[in-house]
Amino acid sequence: MIAAQLAELLGAKQVSVNADTLAAYRFDRWCLKHWQDWRGEALDAPACVVRPRGSAEVQAVVRFSAEHNVAIVPWGLGSGVCGGIEPQPDQILIDMSAMNRVLSIDEENLLLTVEAGINGLVAEEAVAARGLTIGHWPQSIGISSVGGWVSTRASGQFSTAYGNIEDIVYAIEMVLPDGELVTLGKAPRAAAGPDLRHLALGAEGTHGVVTSVTLSLRRQPETQRFSAWYCADMASGFRAQREIVQQDWRPPVMRQYDASEVARLFPDYVQDEQCLILLVHEGPAPRVDAEIHAVESIMVELGLDPADAAAAEGWMSHRNNVPEWRDLLEQGLIADTIEVSGTWSQIDAIYEDVVAALKTVPDCVNASAHSSHVYRSGINLYFTFACMPEDASAMDARYLESWDRALTSTASAGGGIAHHHGAGRLRRDYLRHDLGENGLALLRKLKQAIDPQGLLNPRNLLPPEAPDEST
């Protein structure tokens, strides 16, 4: 019924109830769902998949949803890793990937406007052809959409200099749950009330459907160079990174791997169980030269040893190669990554506590971390854990226990529980650690005001108020 009515609105080609199509949209890249699917568990599929071709069609679908009280789940390119997409059999999945046009490239003001479903790499290549760059390079750039970046508050690998998505977004067009279209963001900077773009940034499809995005571009850097350093332990590396950013140097990439990750990811560069810091320097040649020189002085003064810059160059060329969940599951491993952040005063404890906490989970075979996004006030940490239970039925429990221990330890040490992957269904019960109970109550009030019928991606992001509401 739902599909037939939507087909009348959008045309039959834009609506699918084909079983294979519905199955392909049951979940995003959340490891737990891949595991459940792999072991043959039946997972819910949406009632239908619609593929709007423009904002007006999105409005039509949203108005239909409001009129018939049918929920909608937005899908960008499905690369989210926190369970932001889990459509139920009575819900419409709105696949944004047919809205993939470049709408304008303004070379004078360095602005790019795209439809929200465009693949991030396609958008980057469109501006690269004009000598420009978005400067937003998530590892998933080739499998994620610009609307998804906005909706999850994504971070790119070059964020230390170029900022996270909230620093790059200029304007956002969004269809609200009542079907009205709103454009948020108008000028290079505004003091015209609260910044309403933040109602879309990180909303994970719960406040509306993002239909187009304007991003602030930069010219491609004149020079790119690499450097690398060893540090005796994570704490001494953090100290060096703090000194670099607080002296106002901005290498776009600074990544620090603990000894365990050096052994696993950079076996050619292992040296005495030391940690490894990789840097990419970009910009006008004289500034890059000055930065490399300044970084060298800081590192030497703090007692770090130089490493082969080829390690950083190698990272650059292979940086987006990752195993599929299935490859790991086939080896009997349930694994994931957990990104958190903390101030410089907190980060040593967060690193030590979380690694120790992960190792207490039964069947843990890996607990390691690297940092990858640096701020004047602090830094992120990106933990990797893997468990290999002999009894496969323990996998869900090991997985959820690892997440629980990592997030609880981070929060106890004062850190933030989500640096850039969003919350989805995986982190929603931990959101109170970051927002506080009153902050969470405020977010609920906002959701209620924006989406009184609760039709936009229900049960995502916000924890259920009553336990039995949980999916």
Ligand X SMILES: Cc1cc2nc3c(=O)[nH]c(=O)nc-3n(C[C@H](O)[C@H](O)[C@H](O)COP(=O)(O)OP(=O)(O)OC[C@H]3O[C@@H](n4cnc5c(N)ncnc54)[C@H](O)[C@@H]3O)c2cc1C
Residues that bind ligand X (CB under 6 A): 28-29, 73-81, 84-85, 96, 116, 138-140, 144-145, 147-149, 151-152, 154-155, 204-205, 209-210, 322, 420-422, 457, 460
- CB-based burial, 196-234: b 16+ in 10 Å, e otherwise: bbebbbbbbbbbbbbbbbbbbbeeebeeebbbbbbbeeb
Here the tokens at position 392 are 């496969």
* Eight-state DSSP code of residue 59: H
User: In whole angstroms, how close is the CB of 174 to ligand X at the nearest point?
Assistant: 7
The H-assigned helical ranges of 375-415 are 395-412
CB of 207 or CB of 389, closer to ligand X: 207
Integer Cα distance of 373 and 381 in angstroms: 8
Whole-number minimum distance, CB 123 to ligand X, in Å? Answer: 12
Among residues 204, 207, 215, the alpha carbon closest in space to that of 75 is found at 204
Cβ distance to ligand X smaller for residue 149 or 170: 149
Q: Measure the CA angle with vertex 417, ends 402 and 200; round to 5°.
A: 125
Q: How far apart are the first and last CA of the chain?
A: 24
List all residues 6 or more positions away from 313 whose beta carbon is below 8 Å from its beta carbon.
226
CB of 136 to ligand X, least distance (A): 9
Q: Which is nearer to ligand X, 150 or 240 (CB)?
A: 150
Minimum distance from CB of 345 to ligand X (Å)? 25
- Closest approach, Cβ 115 to ligand X, in A, equals 9
Cβ distance to ligand X smaller for residue 138 or 237: 138
- Minimal CB distance residue for ligand X: 148
CA atoms within 13 A on the CB side of 153: 17
Q: In sequence order, which residues have a C-beta less than 8 Å from that of residue 431 and are 6 or more positions away?
A: 417, 423, 440, 443, 461, 462, 463
Residue 32 vs 81, nearer CB to ligand X: 81
Q: Which is nearer to ligand X, 204 or 451 (CB)?
A: 204
CB closer to ligand X, 389 vs 422: 422
Smallest gap from Cβ 378 to ligand X, in A, equals: 18
* Rounded least distance, CB 98 to ligand X, Å: 12
Q: Could you tell me how many helices (H) and strands (E) the chain has, helices first? A: 16, 18
Of the candidates 135, 144, 32, 145, which has an alpha carbon nearest to the alpha carbon of residue 86? 32
